[in-house]
Amino acid sequence: MAKTKPAISAIGVLTNGGDCPGLNAVIRAVSKTAIMQYGLTVFGIEDGYLGLIQNRMRLLDTADVSNILTQGGTIIGTSNTANPFGFQLTVNGKDSIVDVSDMAIRNLKKRGIDALVCIGGDGSQSIASKLAKKGLRIIGVPKTIDNDLFGTDRTFGFDTAVFIATEAIDRVHTTASSHHRVMIVEVMGRNAGWIALHAGTASGADVILIPEIPYDLKTVCKYILRRSRYGKRFSIVVVSEGARPRGGKQISHYDKNDPNFPMRLGGIGQQLAADISQKTQLECRAIILGHVQRGGTPTPFDRALATRFGYEAVRLLMNGCTGCMVALRGDKISSVSLESVAGKQKTIRSSNHLMAAAKAVGTSFGV
């Protein structure tokens, strides 16, 4: 974590990666802190790193960021495909992957922007770490509904996603009970099952399946059938999109006709419904919550956390810090180096206290 003492008169702020409840709250906190407390000029970089590459930036004043605290999404847009260190360009009629990071940094300098606040997840912070090594003064703000960003106990957006998922599972309980069905609710979580663990435990799910623990289908079916024999005529299964059976693979899909189409996870809920129905002869239904977990008004916790993160990002820059990311440790805001975060994910360990509590009240994790 490096420290410098140059003067800062203007900063840029961008949101990169998947959208997330609380992005606007961070933009508001960064902008108002920079303008009202330090007298800085603030630029919003449009559509994440794509705007940085394409030199699309606009001034933000206090009026621009007023009344956005409770809004979902991001007023400056985002992108989850643009990477300054590997950007697709058409050169002489051929598509090429080009490093345009120097051009992106020059775009900032042309606008008189001295430092950058990058709001994003693990991929975005990895890019930020590389930009910091090129001399760009940069602070990261941890964002992801999956809560899988290394170096921080919580990311903003996670609390809202858990709230939305829990409410949906609560509603599924009533229809499952009425029709005596097995209901499978698929939530987001590529390599980490934080949403499934927290929402599943909070809603009293009977089975929780997460990427960290490959499940045994026979064990899941045996558990559900035992519930049925003891008069429990319905069951709720919460599954992360990245969960997989023991010895099997994650379910993904892609467009065979488009080589640039990214591999996307999804479909484990439908597969589980078919597998469980076949082996138990019980009626099963699958619900995929998908992007509904990303949208809407952030919870009070996420609004407050996002505000604390945004304020701290500007404070760190003005104190000469660069190449670091703000983080929540316990109830305190601290910082970690971007280099220590880059390329890492925070997954659920077998010693997790909430998992132990869920097991103690009879929840099955499919093993």
Alpha carbon 330 to its chain centroid, in Å, reads 19
User: Do 305 and 156 contact (CB within 8 A), yes or no?
Assistant: yes
- 70-103 in b/e form (b: 16+ CB < 10 A) is ebbbbbbbbbbebbbbebeeeeeeeeeeeebbee
270 and 131 share one domain: no
Q: Work out the percent of the chain whose per-residue pLDDT is above 90.
A: 80
> Could you tell me if 170 and 55 lie in one domain?
no
Provide the β-strand partners of residue 149: 345
Q: Are residues 111 and 10 in the same domain?
A: yes
Mean pLDDT over 166-183 rounds to 86
Within a domain: 256: yes
pLDDT band at 263 (very low <50, low <70, confident <90, very high): low
Mean pLDDT of 214-223: 96
Give mean pLDDT, residues 316-328.
Answer: 96
Q: What pLDDT does 113 receive?
A: 97
Q: Do 35 and 66 have their domain in common?
A: yes
Task: Report the CATH number at residue 24.
Answer: 3.40.50.450
Residue 70 domain-assigned (yes or no): yes
Is the CB of residue 129 less than 8 Å from the CB of residue 338? yes
User: Are 245 and 307 members of one domain?
Assistant: no
146 included as an active-site residue = yes
Candidate from 147-151, 254-258, 321-325 with smallest mean pLDDT: 254-258
Range of the domain at 282: 159-295
- And the tokens for 127? 């890019």
**How far apart, in whole angstroms, are the C-alpha atoms of residue 56 and residue 76?**
10
Q: Answer yes or no: do 163 and 288 share one domain.
A: yes
The pTM assigned to this predicted structure is 0.91
**Cβ–Cβ under 8 Å, residues 306 and 27:** no
Is residue 351 situated within a structural domain? no
Predicted confidence at residue 23, as pLDDT, reads 97
Q: Is position 336 within any domain?
A: yes
Contact 159, 299 (CB under 8 A): yes
Q: In percent, how much of the chain has pLDDT > 70? A: 95
Which CATH number goes with the domain that contains 249?
A: 3.40.50.460
CA distance 130 to 84: 10
**Listed residues 280, 295, 310: the one ending a domain:** 295
pLDDT band at 94 (very low <50, low <70, confident <90, very high): confident
Question: Alpha-carbon distance 45 to 59, whole Å?
Answer: 9
Which has the minimum average pLDDT: 150-159, 183-192, 199-208, 228-237?
Answer: 228-237
Q: Say if residue 211 is in the same domain as residue 94.
A: no
- Active-site hit among 146, 148, 159, 206: 146
Same domain, 13 and 149: yes
Give the number of domains in the chain: 2
Per the CB < 8 A criterion, the answer to whether 226 and 237 are in contact is no
How much of the chain is helix, strand and coil, in % rounded to 5? 35, 25, 40
Contact 319, 7 (CB under 8 A): no
Asked if pLDDT for residue 286 goes beyond 90, the answer is: yes
14 and 76 in contact (C-beta within 8 Å)?
A: yes
